[in-house]
């Protein structure tokens, strides 16, 4: 009998991705259906339903679900859920009872859906409840405000993983696959480390703190869309890979990726991260400073506090809170605000802007901030960007001549 946490809702994993003859038959049927184009975020949500990451959802949410999730963290059924999972359109012709095909922004048929409800929402209300702002500079708010006029609800059949397995190979693991890997290694207490960035020394320290008390850590990297300026998934994965290979004990870390876009919803997104990590088999989620945040929209530890505000028993996967970490020159090593008595002048702290500027200029990052092997991967990436820009300028000059 498995010692891992149960999937969300207490039942079995519920992957909606069809296979074999059923997949072929539904894909043939889908080609004759009216099409609704999904955003990148909606496509990622659908793929998560397909692989069982959003167990036990069977489709996009109804108005009652949307309202319950926005206002009270729960669907109409009473199931805990922190962020709406919805599909939108501007198509006036679609009505309840229709069968539709849902397609990605590249035109690939991703699934089919039986429309059970078509409804309008107050987008500003969703933004205030989920993101705590209606500021269009917030990338999550911008996504909601760009949605279509109507939301469509109904059960889905998923027909594709969006090419993630083909692109990322063994790194793209489904919840069934991570659970099987944990079982094989004899793990039951597993901490998930959420990342959309390469791992610097502070991230390494967080993971190692978890390893001291857990059986292992799942370094779980977002493979979906990010905001401009963020490091692409393949570069991030390479950087994380060299870190694990050189600085972690064998059989303590598994690196994997998942197909969602970032919503940058801060505290609410931290809850979503814990929920789907439960489906992946993780008992804990490492929650550090400014988890899933952007700009100054959330307090640095709001994502930790929110776990104390939700009803008890909402999630089996619990938060592992760790304070802000850094290298302290006086301590002579990694430390946190909780353990280090020294001042900020003794700490090696670099902003993302500063790191990008140093890498773009080919400078070495301090070894106290980033392992040399990681920095080398990032320097190579930024050098390729610089070369690309140089070629563009040269081509533009030639065309002008």
**How many angstroms separate the most distant Cα atoms in the chain?**
72
Q: Which helix (H) or strand (E) holds 35?
A: strand 34-37
| Positive/negative CA dihedral, 275, 277, 283, 284 | negative
In angstroms, rounded to a whole number, what is the distance separating the alpha carbons of residues 279 and 9?
Answer: 10
Q: Which helix (H) or strand (E) holds 164?
A: helix 164-168
Q: Is 319 an active-site residue?
A: no
- Write the CA distances from 119 to 55, 98, 150, 395, integer angstroms: 24, 14, 5, 49
- Write the CA distances from 221 to 194, 226, 240, 302, integer angstroms: 6, 12, 9, 22
**Sequence-distant (≥ 6) Cβ neighbours of residue 204 within 8 angstroms:** 243, 247, 371
Catalytic residue among 41, 179, 189, 196: 196
In angstroms, rounded to a whole number, what is the distance separating the alpha carbons of residues 376 and 360?
Answer: 12
Closest by CA to 36, choosing from 87, 73, 97, 70, is 87
Q: Is 196 an active-site residue?
A: yes
Residue with tokens 């990694």: 334
In angstroms, rounded to a whole number, what is the distance separating the alpha carbons of residues 226 and 236?
Answer: 12
Closest by CA to 249, choosing from 210, 195, 194, 196, is 210
Catalytic residue among 29, 41, 63, 197: 197
In angstroms, rounded to a whole number, what is the distance separating the alpha carbons of residues 250 and 241?
Answer: 13
In angstroms, rounded to a whole number, what is the distance separating the alpha carbons of residues 142 and 160?
Answer: 27
List the catalytic residues. Answer: 196-197
């Amino acid at each position: 009998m498995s010692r891992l946490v149960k999937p969300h809702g207490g039942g079995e994993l519920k992957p909606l991705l069809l296979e074999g003859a059923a997949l072929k038959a539904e894909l043939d049927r889908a080609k004759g259906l009216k099409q609704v184009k999904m955003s990148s975020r909606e496509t990622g949500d659908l793929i998560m339903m397909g692989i069982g990451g959003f167990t036990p959802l069977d489709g996009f949410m109804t108005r009652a679900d949307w309202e319950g999730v926005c206002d009270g963290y729960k669907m109409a059924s009473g199931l805990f859920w922190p962020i709406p999972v919805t599909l939108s359109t501007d198509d006036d012709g679609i009505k309840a009872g229709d069968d539709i095909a849902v397609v990605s922004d590249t035109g690939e048929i991703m699934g089919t859906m039986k429309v059970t409800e078509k409804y309008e929402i107050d987008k500003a209300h969703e933004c205030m409840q989920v993101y705590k702002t209606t500021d269009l500079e917030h990338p999550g708010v911008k996504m909601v405000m760009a949605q279509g006029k109507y939301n469509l609800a109904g059960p889905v059949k998923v027909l594709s993983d969006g090419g993630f397995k083909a692109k990322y190979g063994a790194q793209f693991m489904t919840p069934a696959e991570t659970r099987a890997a944990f079982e094989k290694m004899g793990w039951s207490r597993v901490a998930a480390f959420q990342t959309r960035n390469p791992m610097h020394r502070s991230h390494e320290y967080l993971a190692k703190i978890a390893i001291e008390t857990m059986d292992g850590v799942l370094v779980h990297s977002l493979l979906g869309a990010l905001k401009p300026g963020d490091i692409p998934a393949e570069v991030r994965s390479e950087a994380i890979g060299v870190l694990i290979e050189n600085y972690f004990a064998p059989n303590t870390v598994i690196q994997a990726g998942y197909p969602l876009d970032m919503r940058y919803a801060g505290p609410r997104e931290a809850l979503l991260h814990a929920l789907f990590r439960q489906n992946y088999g993780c008992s804990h989620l490492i929650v550090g400073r400014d988890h899933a945040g952007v700009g100054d929209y959330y307090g640095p530890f709001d994502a930790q506090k929110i776990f104390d505000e939700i009803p008890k028993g909402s999630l089996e996967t619990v938060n592992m809170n760790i304070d802000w970490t850094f290298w302290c020159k006086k301590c002579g090593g990694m430390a946190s605000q909780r353990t280090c008595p020294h001042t900020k002048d003794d700490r090696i702290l670099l902003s993302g802007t500063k790191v990008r500027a140093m890498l773009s200029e080919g400078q070495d990052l301090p070894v106290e901030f980033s392992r040399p092997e990681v920095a080398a991967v990032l320097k190579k990436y930024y050098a390729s960007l610089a070369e690309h820009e140089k070629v563009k300028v040269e081509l533009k000059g030639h065309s002008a001549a």
